[in-house]
A and B are shown apart, each in its own frame.
Chain A
């Protein structure tokens, strides 16, 4: 009905004004009442911000690996730290890359685009004249490497197919290496020494930052695979990087690669494979316990403080109903319906909660902003989903805690409440 619709709008407007009056008239009481909600919202938003931050930091790091790359390796990432389980597996041979490529080029329906071999060591030391860098990440691969790894060059170029095939002694270096070994001089054309071999620098990677805050791609030297083997031998840690055609078809791609590798390794059906196919998701799941822990603690604190807050609001709304019994009687005498009175008190408790929620959001925003300023490298992220979620939680808390007092107010007998002293 048109009239009730309009009535509802005007009454709600009036209730909003009255709620503001009421809250302003009882500032301290309202603030104390909202404290539980404030703490609850701070807890829930801090939790969300932390989880968001972990996710984002992780995603950023994973992007460094390349989203569309899966790996053939000796051991599995998802059971990291259990190296003994994979100890007896045979090493991954770089030659598998060639075999895989041959098979997938013959199959137009393959989910796999290209396979690239790599051998690497984290223990390389790089020298230039009297300067020496330890714990450098040295990696041998072929000219297709950049198809399977993000990483732009800030100057120079990557090595060519020809250079890769003839094991040319050239290298492409990370930004940290370039700036540490050659602080104030041009880098391209200089020679970096790995063990007793010299490699001519032909390219420099753009700065990438740290992976998971631990390992840096700016600390790498990439050389042709044959050249790498000439320096470090053939028994270094090897794996195959395989680029997928469709980023979203991870499962199919893994399935196909698994089959290919079993064929290459000649593993009879029914026997467990002696290699692992890894993808980034495995990494990500390692963080789940941490995230769950934070979420659990956050939800617990939020739940407790919202519960206490809701009881406080319920209590104060009952007090408010009692104090304003005559007002309720008067309003009913003037034509307020039960629903009108109900809405008035609900709006009041919701508004207290919303104000609490906004204050809580403000506090969280301030805290995260400050932390972000103090530790710029922390992946802190304050999302709008969180704003929405906490406002929704505030409203729900307001409704839940205000409902019982509001109903009792709406059911008051008008004659009795007008007589109330």
Chain B
């Protein structure tokens, strides 16, 4: 028996009108993500990786096609429902500007809990636990400016996990890191996957992609290959 799909995409397209030209950022894509998938999305610059990630993360809506998350059609949702999905079902890790510079680590990790309406004491407890889990128990009160690039990504991972999301989306999470730190971060993702999380990450580095169990290559908004290992 197969594990059920968390995400189903059917002939999903995203077009951008640029003057009289139409940019086909995503062109009739069919995709399916199952629970505990650990996927890398690869492709040259401009191939549509970020566009796919934005749609997956409900930050953007497709021009046409179907996107179902946990069996729900995202196209029918209003703004507040989408915000709720982003808050509860999705954990984001971006390449840069992950953290609000004025807030310390704890406050940054707390943000999704504030939007979820969790009480202050519980917020603090859960956020510090999440930070301890990514090895930053001693940096809880530090501001982002006092952290290294790798530490910032770890804070972002802690925050992505805070609401126990259905999927974790990471857009080039190691794009700004040196090799050693990149591998540290990938080890964290590996552990999260072992713990049962569903992870989709974007990268253009082959060796980063090799940490995952599934590789999807995009070219010109189309799926070039989709390989499971």
Contact = CB atoms under 8 A, between A and B. Distances in A.
A409 to B, nearest CB: 14
A17 to B, nearest CB: 8
B83 A335 contact: yes
B100 interface: yes
B183 interface: no
A336 B85 CA distance: 11
- For chain B, the bracket of interface size reads 20 to 34
Given A327-B100, A337-B79, A338-B79, A332 B59 contact: yes
B115 A335 contact: yes
A263 to B, nearest CB: 79
A107 interface: no
A415 B54 contact: yes
A270 B86 CA distance: 85
A331 B107 CA distance: 13
A63 interface: no
Interface stretch (B5-13, B87-95, B188-196): B87-95
A340 B117 CA distance: 12
A151 interface: no
B102 interface: yes
Given A21-B102, A333-B92, A335-B115, A415 B87 contact: no
A240 B76 CA distance: 86
Q: Chain A interface mostly helix, strand, loop or mixed? A: helix
Contacts of A7: 115-117
B98 A330 contact: yes
Contact of A10 (B83, B94, B114): B114
Contact of B83 (A21, A22, A329, A332): A332
A337 B83 contact: yes
B112 A335 contact: yes
Interface in B40-99: 50, 54, 57, 59-60, 79-80, 83-84, 86-88, 92, 94, 97-98
B106 to A, nearest CB: 13
B175 to A, nearest CB: 14
B18 interface: no
B114 A11 contact: yes
Contact of B57 (A4, A333, A336, A413): A333
A66 interface: no
Contacts of B120: 10
B111 interface: yes
B176 to A, nearest CB: 15
Given A332-B86, A335-B84, A418-B94, A340 B115 contact: yes
Interface string A1-39: 001101100110010001001100100000000000000
A334 interface: yes
A326 interface: yes
B55 to A, nearest CB: 9
B1 interface: no
A414 interface: yes
B97 A335 contact: no
A414 to B, nearest CB: 4
A11 B115 contact: yes
B115 A334 contact: yes
A30 to B, nearest CB: 15
Contact of A330 (B79, B83, B84, B100): B100
Nearest to A417: B59
A33 to B, nearest CB: 19
Nearest to A4: B117
A25 to B, nearest CB: 7
B159 interface: yes
B119 interface: yes
Interface string B122-157: 000000000000000000000000000000000000
A12 to B, nearest CB: 10
A192 to B, nearest CB: 79
Contacts of A327: 100
A25 B143 CA distance: 15
Contact of A415 (B60, B80, B115): B60
Contacts of A418: 54, 59, 94
A188 B54 CA distance: 99
A7 B118 CA distance: 8
A223 to B, nearest CB: 79
A335 B86 contact: yes
A126 to B, nearest CB: 77
A396 to B, nearest CB: 28
Contacts of A335: 83-84, 86-88, 111-112, 115-116, 163
Contacts of A329: 59
A414 B59 contact: yes
A336 B117 contact: no
Contacts of B97: 326, 330
A22 B50 CA distance: 31
Nearest to A24: B102
B60 A414 contact: yes
A254 to B, nearest CB: 65
Interface in A294-338: 326-327, 329-338
Most buried by A among B59, B86, B163: B59
A417 to B, nearest CB: 9
- Which of A4, A14, A339, A418 gathers most chain B CB within 10 Å? A418
A334 B92 contact: yes
Given A334-B92, A338-B83, A413-B60, 6 more contacts: A11-B114, A21-B102, A333-B59, A334-B86, A340-B115, A415-B59
15 contacts: A3-B117, A6-B117, A7-B116, A10-B114, A10-B118, A22-B102, A332-B86, A334-B86, A334-B87, A335-B83, A335-B116, A335-B163, A336-B115, A337-B115, A338-B80
